[in-house]
Amino acid sequence: MTNYLDQIEEILSFGKYSPNTIQSYKTYTAPFLDYCSSTLHKDPAEVSPAQIRAFITQLQTERNLCDNSTNHALSEIRFLYEAVLGLPWNAKQIPLRRQTFHLPFIPTPDIVENFLSSIQDLKKKAMVSLMYSAGLRISEVCTLKCAHIEHSNSRIYVAPSKNNRDRYTILSADVYRILCAYWRDLPASMRTRDWLFTQQHSVDKPIYPQFIQSFLFKQEEALHWPHRLTCHSFRHAFATHSYQNGMDLETLSRLLGHASTNTTRYYVHLAMLSMEQIKSPMDGMEVL
């Protein structure tokens, strides 16, 4: 099993995939290989499509996977067969799940303002503010370095992450003040480090995304709000609110780090869901 996982890592590393992507390819492949070995007592090359379907069904039940996550599992196992084992994948016998797509929750500017105002801890306030003000992914916030904050140019350098592209995005004046307050609040011994946000007991390592993800959940509970916010909600909100405020699609695409404006058009679609300024053709008719 280890050899197969090592081969997956070697192939993806050759393709210059990020460490996070490489690790994610093992999320479902590792338990599948264990299932082949401990339950079926077979090499994966000997496993039938019916047995693969049985594993996926078991996995979906045990982990309560949504259809999207189930398809991720299928894609990982397919990569194992095609890239590592060199075997064909029968997509007719092992089809992807048909998905139900749900629109993401996009917090309004008022919700964002109220949420940010409720955060007392400067570290957490700074991290959430960066996601919203600059459209950063949580992984990008966690791996920001002190040198990436370019106050003189009012910009933030974002190192290559998804799509292996680096970029610049906006540094809000208000967020810079929050960052300065956060920095001043740190003990002097904590200021001589590379990463902007570090782990609590190790200034040599960047903070984990789970730190802020779990905070969002707890803060919603403290505010007696329904659980709707995720880290990506603030990136969605940055894109949607920026477009509604008049930012052009090309600029928005560059700030978000999208490989194509086609991806950014998704946010335009979300922005159009704000119906306040759209008139129905029935408005103005005298039918009563």
pLDDT digits over 263-276, tens only?
A: 888 767 766 655 55
pLDDT value of residue 20 = 77
pLDDT tens-digit series, residues 89-101: 999 999 999 877 7
- Residue 256, classified by CB atoms within 10 Å of its CB into exposed (0-12), middle (13-18) or buried (19+), is buried
Q: What is the 3-state secondary structure (H, E, C) of 30-87?
A: HHHHHHHHHHHCCCHHHCCHHHHHHHHHHHHHHHCCCHHHHHHHHHHHHHHHHHHCCC
pLDDT value of residue 271 = 61
pLDDT tens-digit series, residues 56-74: 999 999 988 888 889 999 9
In one letter, which amino acid is 283? D
Check pLDDT > 90 for residue 28. yes
Classify 230 as helix, strand or coil.
Answer: coil
pLDDT tens-digit series, residues 210-221: 899 999 999 999
CA 251 from centroid of its chain's CA atoms: 21
Average pLDDT, the chain: 89
**29 vs 274: which has the higher pLDDT:** 29
Confidence label for 102 from pLDDT (cuts 50, 70 and 90): confident
What is the average per-residue pLDDT within 27-31?
Answer: 94
What is the average per-residue pLDDT within 235-256?
Answer: 91
pLDDT value of residue 21 = 84
pLDDT value of residue 103 = 75
- Residue 161 φ then ψ, to 5°: -135, -110
- Joined together, the tokens standing for residue 141 give 């916030």
Range name among 138-147, 170-179, 214-223, 253-262 with the lowest pLDDT average: 253-262
| Residue burial 160-187, b: 16+ Cβ < 10 Å; e: rest | ebeeeeebbbbbbeebbebbeebeeeee
**108 vs 192: which has the higher pLDDT:** 108
**103 vs 256: which has the higher pLDDT:** 256
Check pLDDT > 90 for residue 280. no
Confidence label for 284 from pLDDT (cuts 50, 70 and 90): confident
- Joined together, the tokens standing for residue 223 give 């505010």
Domains present along the chain, CATH in parentheses? 2-84 (1.10.150.130), 109-271 (1.10.443.10)
Check pLDDT > 90 for residue 204. no
**98 vs 277: which has the higher pLDDT:** 98
Percent of the chain with pLDDT over 90: 66
